Amino acid sequence: MIIVLKQQAKKDDITRITEEVKKLGLKTSVVTGSEQTIIGLIGDTTIIDPKKFEVDEAVDHVMRVSEPYKLANREFHPLDTIVDVNGVKIGGGNICYIAGPCSVENKDQILEVARAVKKSGANILRGGAFKPRTSPYAFQGMGEDALNLLLEAKKETGLPICTELMDAEYIPLFNEKVDLVQIGARNMQNYSLLKKVGSEIKKPVLLKRGLSSTYEEWIMAAEYIMANGNPNVILCERGIRTFETYTRNTLDLQAIPVLKRLTHLPIIIDPSHAGGKWWLVESMSKASLVAGADGLMIEVHNDPEKALSDGPQSLRPDKYDILMQDLKKLESIIHHE
Query: Is residue 180 within a helix (H) or strand (E), and if so which, with residue range?
Result: strand 180-183
CB of 273 to ligand PEP, least distance (A): 4
Please report, as a single letter, which amino acid is at residue 277: K
Query: Is residue 307 within a helix (H) or strand (E), and if so which, with residue range?
Result: none
80 vs 105, which CB is nearer to Mn ion?
Answer: 105
Q: Among 273, 285, 289, 295, indicate the residue that binds ligand PEP (CB under 6 A).
A: 273
1 vs 99, which CB is nearer to ligand PEP?
Answer: 99
CB of 91 to ligand PEP, least distance (A): 20
User: How many residues bind to ligand PEP according to rule CB under 6 A?
Assistant: 9
185 interacts with, out of Mn ion, ligand PEP, none, CB within 5 to 8 A per kind: ligand PEP
Q: Among 223, 237, 270, 310, indicate the residue that binds Mn ion (CB under 5 A).
A: 310
Q: Rule CB under 6 A: is residue 208 a binding residue for ligand PEP?
A: yes
CB atoms within 10 A of CB 169: 9
198 vs 239, which CB is nearer to ligand PEP?
Answer: 239
Assign 3-state DSSP to the chain and report helix, strand, coil percentages, each to 5. 40, 20, 40
The span from the CA of 271 to the CA of 96, in Å, is: 14
Q: How distant, in Å, are the alpha carbons of 52, 178, 237, 241 from that of 201? A: 33, 10, 22, 29
The span from the CA of 66 to the CA of 90, in Å, is: 28
Nearest position to ligand PEP, beta carbon: 184
Q: Rule CB under 6 A: is residue 301 a binding residue for ligand PEP?
A: no
13 vs 310, which CB is nearer to Mn ion?
Answer: 310
Q: Rule CB under 5 A: is residue 102 a binding residue for Mn ion?
A: yes
Residue 43's nearest CA partner among 89, 1, 5 is: 1
Which residue stretch of 23-31, 97-105, 236-244, 316-324 sits at the interface with Mn ion (rule: CB under 5 A)?
A: 97-105
Per-residue mark of binding to ligand PEP, 77-116 (x: CB under 6 A)? -------------------------x--------------
CB of 18 to ligand PEP, least distance (A): 46
Q: Rule CB under 6 A: is residue 238 a binding residue for ligand PEP?
A: yes
- Identify whether the C-beta of residue 146 lies closer than 8 Å to the C-beta of residue 173: no
- Identify whether the C-beta of residue 59 lies closer than 8 Å to the C-beta of residue 3: yes
Alpha helices in the chain (DSSP H): 11-23, 51-54, 107-120, 144-157, 171-177, 191-200, 215-227, 255-262, 271-275, 281-290, 317-333
295 interacts with, out of ligand PEP, Mn ion, none, CB within 5 to 8 A per kind: none
208 interacts with, out of ligand PEP, Mn ion, none, CB within 5 to 8 A per kind: ligand PEP
User: How many residues bind to Mn ion according to rule CB under 5 A?
Assistant: 2
CB atoms within 10 A of CB 275: 22
Q: Rule CB under 5 A: is residue 13 a binding residue for Mn ion?
A: no
The span from the CA of 267 to the CA of 8, in Å, is: 48
Q: Among 100, 141, 184, 275, indicate the residue that binds ligand PEP (CB under 6 A).
A: 184
Q: Among 17, 153, 185, 293, indicate the residue that binds ligand PEP (CB under 6 A).
A: 185
Please report, as a single letter, which amino acid is at residue 30: V
**Interface residues toward ligand PEP, by CB under 6 A:** 102, 128, 132, 184-186, 208, 238, 273
